[in-house]
Structure 1
């Protein structure tokens, strides 16, 4: 019988582990903030409903907690770890520590990596101390797994499970997507250190609210359609705002990130959420991520009225050629119009770009850098195109012999997988550094930032500024 369970982000690096398609290295990014481990929070709520005693640890963030001490102080029956493709090699070393302490502890890993990673890759030595892996939506898989394991049912019937049979790794059928997201319990925030995940603008705790799953987009680099499906599955506005209200009343949190694979795709739904917040008279501030299409003034006005003050746009490129080849479905002009509209209505704008696609030369990337400085963005981030298993980008780079390595152990800030047809990986890394420094170190930008922010916010921005300089000058 499984009684006591540890759900953990392992003690290696600060990464956005729980958002599946976004596996960002927080320390390597320019302005990326820590987010709470909602994926573990959802799993914890499911397990608590099954009568399990659950502990959540985000070890890189909870610096007062120690993995070895927890192994000694708790009699864990099962440990589930959230991994990323970029960290998996280091992550799974902690299962060796686990098995050396007690070989009977069940070890499980979960993450987007396992959806598309070749089963042959499990022959690597790093998987020696792993018992099981989940792929698909873990809230579904964990319940089915616990039921089968505890009742001695065949594990071959657990959809979304990878397991060993006579020393051979077996990958079961893919699990169905959870169609009605309102049926999911809210993440178990009572098990999280909510005070550690702060909004850099307000220095107050910020909760992430997963508002929907799925994206109908065709972007060749993105894991979202693979992880969450191409059909948009939306929570009801009432259910979303119920969770917001719980955070306010139970956890004293009034800063939020309303997260989605594509938040603004359904205008009426966004307006309903905004109206529900206003109707309940909730005094909150929130941010959201968005494509540049579809977006319009009416929707943005409702978002602003309900407390939204920042929008993160996936602009990706200043090259028409790149936007077309990456199948983004927008133009450079669409990018410009979206940012200008948001700024006209008083929003802060966080613009995301991607450089280093297989077809890109120096001129293509310089077009993106120039667009970043042309737009009135408040923050920017530059990713290096990363070919995750299962994406069209992976297939293209493999066909073009541009994969120096497999994706494991690499990230899209400082350690890309390979180069382009025209640029080495080192040249792309240096162009990313150039892009960030040329945006953030403009005298006019620095002066405007210092004159328009309060002292507490400036203090946080200075901290990010030092990190930027450290990462890109030394």
Structure 2
């Protein structure tokens, strides 16, 4: 059986996010390996199903390029990822596949199709299967094992030849993540990935845990992947993967865990293992402000960490309560200070436009950001992803302006408007806040004096050019 796994082409010139519910165009020169597809590919291979993996997003291939690949390989099955704002273009993968050979089985994965399976089938006559289970690896294997009679494959919606859509039995969660094997790091082009925080290349991506310990109303993790029930790989298994990644020639990784230090004991064992095994990888990660302390930060730094991202969203108490963020601004301030004191950079993920937002609350958040020493921030526009509580709130209160999914991008004008805060105002504040933060003389001065070598010069120049293209030259309408 020939199997082809595809990350579809980018819709934006900046590339797109699709991984595990990611959505929107990238904010800068950011090319992230498709970890969800890599995990599917690696598990299939482990179970005896060889496959090809193609990332058309990061490699900037077109849909015509995809069609040529399909013509050359003539696969029996194609799996492809989707996201809300790219769904119309993503479904072209199924179309060109059927144009090449109508017998190719086309399978879509992603949180958008999980939330709206019937709408998606109606959108594309060329789509055969939608994975609704959050266990994408096991469900994709079910498809392959039952390819001759797909109604026996657990965790999918299936379009029968009659046109009838059926939902098969649910796929139980995988309790032992070690059984999934390693993501297919060796199947992608090595030298095309990186982001503004990267220190070295080539760079890959890893993950040691599934789900998240929080239950934010806007996030796809609790809506689709079972948060706050956290499942962890064994430290030993994870270390073996990191050794393999290093042996493949990678010099840096991104930890894709929603909260890498959710379990401080597990995290400490991981970092100690990296140090003990002399794993020479630099890396960045995400966590929550209350899940860092001086002891764990010292271990992280020694194990190769250079950048830690924290979810802040807002500093307004009403907004934070409405989105169930369970964080206090002073925890953010303290965490940023601790991280910087331990010699690492910080990224703060901030968003404008959540329920309860006002002009005053946005201005308060922007003012707060200017008082702390974060290396980077993001200030995207809230996107109500289908299937989340945030989407239901926006829809039920008649705040929604459009169901044109291509508009559901945090870099574009909001798809909703509040009586007290318009879509245009939210868009304005997003760009205004970023300019206020990044174009401060003090910030620019601190970036300049932090330069240590020509690599830093190149990185800072590229980041500045990317910022100007994204927030000054290009329109965000």
**TM-score when scaled to structure 2?**
0.92
CA distance, structure 1, for counterparts of residue 195 and residue 385 of structure 2? 29
How far residue 113 of structure 1 moved from its aligned partner, in angstroms, is: 1.7
How far residue 203 of structure 1 moved from its aligned partner, in angstroms, is: 4.3
CA distance, structure 1, for counterparts of residue 239 and residue 128 of structure 2? 38
Give 5+ residue unaligned stretches, structure 1. none
Q: Aligned in 2, Cα 1:355/1:199: closer, same or farther, shift over 3 Å?
A: closer
**Which residue is equivalent to 2:354?**
357
1:71-470 alignment, distance < 5 Å: 71-117=70-116, 119-122=117-120, 124=122, 126-135=123-132, 136-150=134-148, 152=149, 155-165=150-160, 166-198=162-194, 200=196, 201-230=198-227, 231-249=229-247, 251-406=248-403, 408-409=405-406, 410-453=408-451, 454-470=453-469
Q: Is the deviation greater in 90-99 or in 352-361?
A: 90-99
After superposition, the C-alpha distances for 1:140-182 in whole angstroms (9 at most, x for unaligned) are 10111111223x3xx3342220111331322334422211111
How far residue 34 of structure 1 moved from its aligned partner, in angstroms, is: 1.3
After superposition, the C-alpha distances for 1:324-351 in whole angstroms (9 at most, x for unaligned) are 2211111111121111111122210011
CA distance, structure 2, for counterparts of residue 256 and residue 337 of structure 1? 26
After superposition, the C-alpha distances for 1:342-362 in whole angstroms (9 at most, x for unaligned) are 112221001110110132111
After superposition, the C-alpha distances for 1:288-309 in whole angstroms (9 at most, x for unaligned) are 1011123211111111121112
Runs (4 or more) in structure 1 with deviation over 6 Å come to none
How far residue 416 of structure 1 moved from its aligned partner, in angstroms, is: 2.9
Q: Is the deviation greater in 175-184 or in 451-460?
A: 451-460
CA distance, structure 1, for counterparts of residue 402 and residue 389 of structure 2? 17
Q: Is the 8 A contact 2:80 2:107 kept in 1?
A: yes
Q: Aligned in 2, Cα 1:352/1:64: closer, same or farther, shift over 3 Å?
A: closer
Any idea what SS the aligned residue of 1:423 has?
A: coil
Q: Aligned in 2, Cα 1:415/1:133: closer, same or farther, shift over 3 Å?
A: farther
Q: Aligned in 2, Cα 1:352/1:101: closer, same or farther, shift over 3 Å?
A: same
How far residue 447 of structure 1 moved from its aligned partner, in angstroms, is: 2.0
Give 5+ residue unaligned stretches, structure 2. none
**Which residue is equivalent to 1:21?**
21
Q: Is the 8 A contact 2:175 2:231 kept in 1?
A: yes
CA distance, structure 2, for counterparts of residue 444 and residue 298 of structure 1? 30
How far residue 390 of structure 1 moved from its aligned partner, in angstroms, is: 2.2
CA distance, structure 1, for counterparts of residue 177 and residue 463 of structure 2? 35
CA distance, structure 1, for counterparts of residue 39 and residue 215 of structure 2? 28
Any idea what SS the aligned residue of 1:293 has?
A: helix
The CA RMSD over aligned residues, in Å, is: 1.9
Q: Is the 8 A contact 1:292 1:313 kept in 2?
A: yes
CA distance, structure 1, for counterparts of residue 61 and residue 351 of structure 2? 36
Q: Is the 8 A contact 2:10 2:60 kept in 1?
A: no
**Which residue is equivalent to 2:471?**
472
After superposition, the C-alpha distances for 1:238-259 in whole angstroms (9 at most, x for unaligned) are 111111100111x111211122
CA distance, structure 2, for counterparts of residue 376 and residue 353 of structure 1? 15
How far residue 87 of structure 1 moved from its aligned partner, in angstroms, is: 0.4
Q: Aligned in 2, Cα 1:281/1:144: closer, same or farther, shift over 3 Å?
A: same
How far residue 50 of structure 1 moved from its aligned partner, in angstroms, is: 4.4
After superposition, the C-alpha distances for 1:343-396 in whole angstroms (9 at most, x for unaligned) are 122210011101101321111111111112111010111122211122111121
CA distance, structure 2, for counterparts of residue 255 and residue 228 of structure 1? 27
Q: Aligned in 2, Cα 1:123/1:158: closer, same or farther, shift over 3 Å?
A: closer
Q: Is the deviation greater in 63-72 or in 350-359?
A: 63-72
How far residue 63 of structure 1 moved from its aligned partner, in angstroms, is: 4.3
How far residue 199 of structure 1 moved from its aligned partner, in angstroms, is: 5.2
CA distance, structure 1, for counterparts of residue 173 and residue 59 of structure 2? 32
Any idea what SS the aligned residue of 2:350 has?
A: strand
CA distance, structure 2, for counterparts of residue 368 and residue 388 of structure 1? 23
